[in-house]
Structure 1
């Protein structure tokens, strides 16, 4: 996030754990496709609560998974999650503090061997020079090793186009505001450089081949059960909250969101039976020759 929208990672820690648990099935599906029978070292860069690190470990016969993150509060969270969820002595799962912006070359020197798999989810787009970062991550790989980037896809949707409050297309305008915020955030990053091509081309320019993409649909149709409904409301509340001070949402849209997210209001989204979750996730994979 930019300086206008600071992130309190200690405050977000419970949400990261909830996300790791909610996405467990997806992580396992992707890990099953990525991990090879001879893999002995995997690295999860920007690991969050280590949900994917644990999924990768579950697919390995033996070896080591190194989960890294640049935020101390997140490192502590990942360590606690792994401590509670992992006990197989054949695969060592450890967490290290490493900032993807500065520490990856040094991390390479501390690994016992080149990596068979490097996973980075929603991490590279926070770096000024995305192509340089991808090339650095590719340098961690052994011949035949895979770099997997979970980036792109389609944003999550939850609401009908017309919800009967404010102008139709309220959630679409929320996404448009987030896109404009993202452009601003990218421009403000140190050493920011545009990458005017897609993730697969970036992997090729890092010297990886072949390069493939797998996109999966994540759909929960209405009516949502209570846990999913609460997750949708929390997700929308967070997005509106951090976009509020940016000036990218109109006063009319903010008024509508305030009513929709207020449990005491008759228009509260929690009363609706037509909320849903729909998104698409893309994973781009390049192989080191």
Structure 2
């Protein structure tokens, strides 16, 4: 049984439900940390999309943009493009606007508040649509894909990205009396493979250009933000365990997340980041 939601982690967790302020603030931090720590992956992904594009994008749409980490990365990659970030949450869109202003991108990046479950918003035709960990939140993703298809110019690209699961950070020897704590947690909570969008894309009229997994394997030592990123992710996983861990594993996990001792994640210098994210790139003929 799926007891958690893999979309709670990347760029666009709960993008179509505004939520309470505390939850929005926590999710915004997670999105920002994810983008900071995985900056190299995002850069590689946007560069690849540039190689696939038949023309320099003039207008890009980011579906379920969250705080706009994808929208900002796309605006920085494609310097001639205007970027429209679509999200339900006004709090997330305010963060996007502030970030765009700080980075000197306010003239090219704008937010549109819309619930994609209620239909495609009124947007200018686009050359690239980006949907990172957002489509699986939709009540009817085929309808959203149909809207993306209609909104793309002929030859335009759609990029759909999903993650396999939360990243892994800890050495395998973590655990009281028995190693492999993080692996056991992932075994308990991982719902299995992420959605495969190939058939959905075909039904909407797209032609699949490529399906590419991006394997992230960042070795220690890593930037300081990694420790906080690991803490936030592990805390999120912990909140879904609901008494399913043995007492010794629970104690070990609590010590890793919040402990001041040598096992505390904020004190560790041996953290790594291991995860896989897959992108389906499809074209409107």
Shift of 1:269: 3.8
Do the aligned residues in 2 keep the contact of 1:117 with 1:145 (CA within 8 Å)? yes
The match for 1:230 among 225, 228, 231 is: 228
Partner of 1:213: 211
Partner of 2:111: 95
**Structure 2: how far apart are the matches of 1:210 and 1:234?**
35
* Residue range with higher mean Cα deviation, 75-84 or 212-221: 212-221
The match for 2:74 among 56, 61, 64 is: 56
CA-based RMSD? 3.0
**Structure 1: how far apart are the matches of 2:142 and 2:244?**
28
Matched, 1:146 2:148: no
**Number of matched pairs:** 265
Do the aligned residues in 1 keep the contact of 2:97 with 2:106 (CA within 8 Å)? no
**Structure 1: how far apart are the matches of 2:129 and 2:90?**
21
Partner of 2:135: 124
Partner of 1:188: none
Partner of 2:184: 173
Taking a change above 3 Å as real, the CA distance of residues 76 and 279 of structure 1, as seen in their structure-2 partners, is same
SS at match of 1:138: helix
The 5 A counterparts of 1:26-37 are: 26-35=41-50, 36=53, 37=55
Q: TM-score, normalised by structure 2?
A: 0.79
Partner of 2:27: 12
**Structure 1: how far apart are the matches of 2:264 and 2:247?**
18
Runs (5+) with no aligned partner, structure 1: 184-194
Shift of 1:154: 5.7
Do the aligned residues in 1 keep the contact of 2:201 with 2:208 (CA within 8 Å)? no
Shift of 1:275: 2.4
Provide, for residues 119-170 of structure 1, a one-character-per-residue CA deviation record: whole Å limited to 9, x for no partner.
0111112223444433333332221111101113464111233324154332
Partner of 2:123: 111
Do the aligned residues in 2 keep the contact of 1:70 with 1:97 (CA within 8 Å)? yes
Partner of 1:189: none
Shift of 1:252: 4.1
Taking a change above 3 Å as real, the CA distance of residues 98 and 83 of structure 1, as seen in their structure-2 partners, is same
Taking a change above 3 Å as real, the CA distance of residues 56 and 282 of structure 1, as seen in their structure-2 partners, is same
SS at match of 1:151: strand
Provide, for residues 89-136 of structure 1, a one-character-per-residue CA deviation record: whole Å limited to 9, x for no partner.
5xx211111123224x2x1xx223x22110011111222344443333
SS at match of 2:240: helix
The 5 A counterparts of 1:247-286 are: 247-265=243-261, 267-286=263-282
Higher relative contact order structure (alpha carbons within 8 Å, sequence separation ≥ 6): 2
Do the aligned residues in 2 keep the contact of 1:42 with 1:65 (CA within 8 Å)? yes
Runs (5+) with no aligned partner, structure 2: 6-13
Do the aligned residues in 1 keep the contact of 2:30 with 2:232 (CA within 8 Å)? no
Partner of 2:11: none
